[in-house]
Amino acid sequence: MAYSMEADMEHDHHIDTSKPMEYSTEDGSLKIFGFWVFLGSDLVLFSCLFTMYILLFRNTAGSFTSQQLFDYPTFLSETFLLLTSSFTCGLATYSMRRGMKNATIAWLIVTVLLGLGFIGFEVSEFTKYVSMGATMHTSAFLSAFFTLVGTHGCHVSLGILWLTSIIIQVAMRGLNPVTTRKIFIAGLYWHFLDVAWIFIFTVVYFMGKVL
Amino acid sequence: MASNDTTKHGQHHQEAFPWKHIIGFLLSLVLTFGSLWFVLGSHLPSQAVISAIVILAVFQAMIQLFLFMHLTETFGPNYQQFLIFFAFFIAFTVVAGSIWIMAFKSYVA
């Protein structure tokens, strides 16, 4: 019971070996819970951006519609890259739990590379739209589109920098209660980005093709 | 989800093969291709297609939460599960409530 009164009385650096390493200190358990709180608030942030997009996407101001703009190969590539990266990130956490340092680092590197591939496709998609004259200023639809998908892209970019810094820390310091907690939290963040993307490809891209 | 049994004992009893992740990944692929089929392959009315792909998206989000993020895993009080469900409730209220209220805008304008 990491949160109980008894735990508070104990020494700060008490390590409970019955738990996985990232949960083994009270500090680690509390930080993991704190990160769930952040994910809850991030979920509400995305819900507001989705609401804005859903209410505005028909307001194309006589310019590009979602039907004309989106193309299947681009957004399907983005979807499969991010989905696979979420899987490899899960394998990194799994390897970490088994104490396999090199496997953890390897899966994290694969995750970062897939994330970079995703960002590459997204940047080329945005550049293509802007070069066609479909910018954030063109219509309410495009303002909402770039805000929603761009916010997600910012999250992924930040995640890439975060995972890279964690890879360096694990390579230098190995798996200890601090680095495993960092891997676990960054893993939660990365999976959450895939949750957000699932709703983006459904609500933005697929619905944009149907309606 | 029976994640508590395998994880309560800590890292010494971690499964020898990441079945959960592989099953989750395969199911995600199936659900993604399912959505693609509803959009391209089925010739249903657009309202039916939208309902179908939203349901598939909810299932896929649940795979991420339960199989990849281990939402139900706990080594103390399980506050995070309640918190995430509450966040989803707020998110649903914001999205559905806004769509509903904006459906009346023609009367107001």
Write phi, then psi, for A141 (nearest 5 degrees). -55, -50
pLDDT mean across residues, chain A: 91
Is residue A5 in some structural domain?
no
Q: Do A209 and B39 touch (CB under 8 A)?
A: yes
Give the separation between CA B20 and CA B48, rounded to whole angstroms.
31
Give the separation between CA A83 and CA A98, rounded to whole angstroms.
23
* B12 and B43 co-located in one domain: yes
Is residue A23 in some structural domain?
no
What pLDDT, on the 0 to 100 scale, is given for residue B109? Answer: 57
Q: Are A73 and A147 in contact (CB under 8 A)?
A: no
CATH of the domain at A198: 1.20.120.80
Is residue A170 in some structural domain?
yes
What pLDDT, on the 0 to 100 scale, is given for residue B86? Answer: 95
What per-residue string of b and e applies to A170-197 under the rule 16 or more CB within 10 Å gives b? Answer: beeeebebebbbbbbbbbbbbbbbbbbb
A37: which chain B residues are within 8 Å (Cβ-Cβ)?
83
What pLDDT, on the 0 to 100 scale, is given for residue B108? Answer: 60
The total number of structural domains in chain B stands at 2
pLDDT in tens, A82-130: 999 999 999 999 999 999 999 999 999 999 999 999 999 999 999 999 9
* B98 and B63 co-located in one domain: no
Q: Are A125 and A74 in contact (CB under 8 A)?
A: yes
B3: left (phi over 0), alpha (psi -120 to 50) or beta: alpha
Is the pLDDT reported for residue A50 higher than 80? yes
* B43 and B84 co-located in one domain: no
* B50 and B98 co-located in one domain: no
Task: Give the rounded percent of residues in chain A with a pLDDT score beyond 90.
Answer: 80
* pLDDT confidence bin for A21, thresholds 50/70/90: confident
* B89 and B103 co-located in one domain: yes
Q: Which of A2-11, A154-163, B60-69 has the lowest mean pLDDT?
A: A2-11
* pLDDT confidence bin for A193, thresholds 50/70/90: very high
Helices (H) and strands (E) in chain B, counts: 5, 0
pLDDT in tens, A122-175: 999 999 999 999 999 999 999 999 999 999 999 999 999 999 999 999 999 999
What pLDDT, on the 0 to 100 scale, is given for residue B78? Answer: 85
The label of the residue with tokens 């991030």 reads: A42
Write phi, then psi, for A136 (nearest 5 degrees). -60, -25
Is the pLDDT reported for residue A7 higher than 60? no
Closest CA to B69 of A81, A99, A93, A105: A93
The total number of structural domains in chain A stands at 1
What pLDDT, on the 0 to 100 scale, is given for residue B72? Answer: 86
Q: In which domain, by residue range, is A178 found?
A: 67-211
* B69 and B81 co-located in one domain: no
Q: Are B94 and B47 in contact (CB under 8 A)?
A: no
Amino acid (1-letter code) at residue A30: L
Give the separation between CA A29 and CA A68, rounded to whole angstroms.
48
Is residue A43 in some structural domain?
no
Structure tokens at A168: 């360096």
What pLDDT, on the 0 to 100 scale, is given for residue A6? Answer: 46
Give the separation between CA B109 and CA B106, rounded to whole angstroms.
5
- Mean pLDDT score, A20-31: 88
* B56 and B93 co-located in one domain: no
Residues 6+ apart with CB under 8 A from A109: A167
Residue of chain A whose alpha carbon sits nearest to that of B101: A55
Alpha helices in A57-137 (DSSP H): 66-69, 72-97, 101-132
* B65 and B109 co-located in one domain: no
What pLDDT, on the 0 to 100 scale, is given for residue B13? Answer: 53
Give the separation between CA A38 and CA B17, rounded to whole angstroms.
31
Q: Do A36 and B95 touch (CB under 8 A)?
A: no
* B68 and B103 co-located in one domain: no
* B16 and B64 co-located in one domain: yes
Q: In which domain, by residue range, is B61 found?
A: 1-75
The label of the residue with tokens 């983006």 reads: A200
* pLDDT confidence bin for A8, thresholds 50/70/90: very low
Helices (H) and strands (E) in chain A, counts: 8, 0
Residues in B 22-61 with any Cβ partner in A closer than 8 A:
24-25, 28-29, 32, 35-36, 39, 46, 49-50, 53-54, 56-57, 60-61
- Mean pLDDT score, B22-50: 93
A31 touching B, CB under 8 A?
no
* B53 and B70 co-located in one domain: yes
3 state SS of A171 = helix
Q: Do B65 and A41 touch (CB under 8 A)?
A: no
Residue predicted with more confidence, A211 or A76: A76
